[in-house]
Structure 1
Amino acid sequence: MEVCPNCFEDAELKGFISSSKNIGICKICDSSNVPLLLIDELIDFFQGLIDNFKVLPDGEPLISKIQSNWNFFSTLNIGSIILNEVLSKITSEIKNSEYLVDYTDDIIENFSFWEILKDNLKKSNRYITNIEYLTEDLGWDGFFNTQFELKSSDELYRARVHHKSNLEAYSIKEMMCPPFNLAGGGRANPLGIPYLYLSDNPETVLYEVRASYLDELSIGLFNLKKEIDFVKIVDFTEQTSLFQTTNIKQTIKSKLLRDEISRDLSKPMRRYDSEIEYIPTQFICEFIKIFTGASGIRFCSSLDPSGKNIVMFNQELMECKNVFLKKIDKMHLKAVDHKTKDS
């Protein structure tokens, strides 16, 4: 059996297959004039991948598990064809793509500990926790290497809502973090330790500050200071490639853990939520700052699906270049029905 780049969505694997000099018609996805690679050349990779799953009677079909977490194949059907061929050539208790599976116990333990840690930080041990277990046993200090370079040319934005009408735009200084004695706790920063919250486009910041109809706002434009070429930011938005020649288990563990944390970072605080809910994400940001040396984090905005948020641990890296006024003159609200349990 031969496969082509169009059989997969994984960018690294597509690139690897594209280097093949064998050009022809793919009998799996019917693509014409494409590079073709014998599936046997991917057997070692698939053996390493399948070794990270166990058969579980109440689990999920293998193909669905891989697609839901990784979007690895171009379609479920193509993925099943390839997996069934591969499973006939490797050593595994999993015999076809529909076998019910879950990840191995050590992988489940690794990302599931996030929920245990959250509960512990909120209810039991807020300031002292077993860091050695996180680093030496679970290896979390090596799971935040998915980073990008924030460059001096990248433009970021921050908004502040005015509490009165017809005010002038806030000054550049007022668009920076509040002083430590006025800094409340946020999803990333603890009480009294200000971080600079930014977004990658001016529309996203309107959602993030929950601007309402006729609100007036100041929006600041930010860049890295001109003497700084770039800084490293831990990226919770990047799609991790599953195609690895080594350390597949490490890749799976780190991606699943980051997905768990990312959901909590993006979760908007409702007006009736307690600030205690942010303590776990505050902890993990401190963990990232200490163990990776990164200057901040990037995560998806749950309020604006097209936008990304960036939190800078040190505002002194940034400068506000300009501030402009904006008034919200239209809004689109949509109510969502939720089913309730019968009383």
Structure 2
Amino acid sequence: MDVTELLDFFQELADNFEVVGTGESLKNKIQGNWSFFANHQVAEKILNHLMPKLKTAISNANSSVDYIQEIRDNYSYWETLKEELKWSNRFLSNLDQLLELGWDGFFNTQYRLTSSTELFRARVHHKSGNPALSPTEMFCPPPDIAKGGRANPSGIPYLYLCDNMETVLYEVRASYLDELSIATFQLKQLPDGVIIVDFTEDTPLFQPELVRETIMSKLLRDKISQDLSKPMRRYDSEIEYIPTQFICEFIRTYTGASGIRFSSSLHPSGKNIVIFDQNLMECTNVILHQVTTVNLESTKLKT
């Protein structure tokens, strides 16, 4: 097709950027966030062809640009909200502001979890030589002893699962010769399955008449996804998890989703799944596992 037939879409896309003195080039901005074109060379060729035909101050693919202020204000509010939740206004946050920003419609990267998908959960044994834990013991701890995590507040347990057995070992920080119980979980037989908000997938950029909303939702989810995946270090406070606990409650309330999926920072090829209501799941099998090999890498920190 003639690329000029897409002029309306590219005009709508260009309207979401503004020229700045110092910044990324237009082609890098689009490719970096969306991989919209086949490669950077194709991006440059098409954008250089189209920009002069559009009503925009952006002259070519290498123009330095940033997102317009409306978009920057939208996704940067996550940082503002994080500080507010941690240090000033934890329980009566301004939900009206989030709804005004359109956040209730930004978690539309969803997939349907069905009973055919196997998920995994592990618990490290405190003593060696014990048998595998029972299926009942592999569920969440009781509310009165449930600690806060990256998704759940203290006293409100969520079921943390992984999409493969190897990722589970990283997530529980298993060490050499540790013995663990590893359970397989599946969704109960529900006719339509359940909906999960997916922080690992992107909405395609080509959404005519919805380009701005698509950009806003993508950039916001990226910000939240980074915090969801961030592992808690030994010296971190549980206060650091309050913003992601809040956003999970927001998702649960305003999307009706039954959980979330996000990338594992401890095992980059793996994904974590959090189920808000563990009663939706059943434990189908538990095996005993011992860690016999550990690979460690260190990175020199700047001084």
Q: TM-score range by the shorter chain?
A: over 0.9
Preserved CA contact (<8 Å) 1:152 1:229: no
Give a deviation string over 1:217-265, Cα, whole Å, max 9, x none.
0000000112454100000001321111121000000000000000000
- Find the residue that maps to 1:185 and give its secondary structure: coil
Q: Which residue of 2 aligns with 1:61?
A: 25
1:139 maps to 102
- Counterpart pick for 1:71 among 32, 35, 41: 35
Separation of aligned partners in 1, 2:19 and 2:43:
18
Q: Say which of 40, 44, 58 aligns to 2:8.
A: 44
Cα distance in structure 2, aligned partners of 1:333 and 1:218: 23
One of 129, 141, 144 as aligned partner of 1:178: 141
Equivalent residue for 1:325?
Answer: 288
Structure 1 segments, 4+ long, off by >6 Å, are none
Matches within 5 A, 1:55-204: 55-135=19-99, 137-204=100-167
Distance 1:228 1:196, change over 3 A: farther
**Which residue number corresponds to residue 231 of structure 2?**
268
CA RMSD in angstroms comes to 0.8
The answer to which structure, 1 or 2, has the higher relative contact order (CA under 8 A, 6+ apart) is 2
Pick aligned residue for 1:206 from 159, 169, 174: 169
Bigger Rg, structure 1 or 2: 1
**Contact 1:296-1:310 within 8 A present in 2 as well:** yes
1:65-123 superposed Cα distances (whole Å, 9 cap, x missing partner): 11111111122121111001010211101011111110011100000000000011001
Which structure 1 residue ranges, 5 or more long, are not aligned?
Answer: 1-36
The match for 2:204 is 241
Provide the identity percentage. 62
**Per-residue deviation, 1:59:** 2.0
SS in 1 for 2:206: coil
Aligned to 1:230: 193
Deviations 1:292-337 (A, max 9, x none): 0000000000111111000000000000001001000001101111
Name 1:20's counterpart in structure 2. none
Alpha-carbon separation, structure 2, partners of 1:333 and 1:86:
49
Of 269-278 and 72-81, more deviation after overlay is shown by 72-81
Normalized against structure 2, the TM-score is what? 0.99
Contact 1:152/1:228 (<8 A) preserved: no
Partner SS for 2:19: strand
Alignment of 1:286-301 (within 5 A): 286-301=249-264
Gaps of 5+ in 2: none
* CA offsets 1:189-238 (integer angstroms, 9 cap, x no match): 00000000000011110000000000000000000112454100000001
Question: How many Å separate the matches in 2 of 1:59 and 1:333?
Answer: 37
1:148 and 1:235 in contact (8 A); partners too? yes
Amino acid across the alignment from 2:176: Y
CA contact (8 A) 2:14 2:56 kept: yes
**How many residues get paired?**
303
Q: 1:165 to 1:228 in 2, by over 3 A?
A: farther
CA deviations 1:148-191 (Å, max 9, x no partner) are 00011000000000010001101110000000001000000000
Distance 1:293 1:229 in 2: 14
Residue 304 (1) aligns with residue 267 (2): yes
CA distance in 1 between counterparts of 2:107 and 2:289 reads 37
Give the letter aligned to residue 73 of structure 1: F
